[in-house]
Structure 1
C-alpha cells in the first residue's frame, strides 16, 4: 500500500528533487515514488499555488542613475575658409559630402 503524504511532505520532496541533480525518474526510483504520481502531485500543487495568487505582482521602483564620463576629449569642428567665407563642419561629417561641398563652392 502506498504511503499517503501531506502537501508539506510533497513540497519537501520537490525541494529535495530540485536540489538533487537527478532526473525525475531516477529521483522517483531512489525514493520509491511512482513517476506519474510525482508529476501529477507536482502539477496540482503548482496549480494551487498559482490560483492562490491574485494575479498581481508587487512592483518596486528602483531609482537608478547612470553617470557617463567622456574618455575622449571632444574634437572641435573643422573650419574651411574660402576668401572671406568660413564654413564650420562638425566631426563625423562624411568625406564624400565635404568633397562635394568643396567642389560646389569652387
Structure 2
C-alpha cells in the first residue's frame, strides 16, 4: 500500500531532491517514490504556492453629482439629440454643465 504524505512532507522531499544532485528518477528510486507521483505532487504544490491572479482588480464606485443653481426661472426648454438620446434642458443652463453632460453621454 502506498504511503500517504502531507504537503509538508512532500515539500521536505522536494527540498532534499533540490540539494541531492540526483536526477529525479534516481532520487525517486532511492526514496521508493513513483516518478509520476513525484512530478504530479511537485506541480500541485508549485501551483498552490504561486499567487493566483485572475485579471480582476478591485474597483471603487464613486458617485459624482453636478449641481447648479439657476439664477433666473427658465421660460422654455431646449431639446438636444445626442447619440439617440433626447435631452430636454431648460434654457439658461450653464454651457459647462451641458458640455460635461454631453461628454458623459458620448
TM-score by length of 2: 0.48
* RCO higher in structure (CA 8 A, sep ≥6): 2
TM-score by length of 1: 0.48
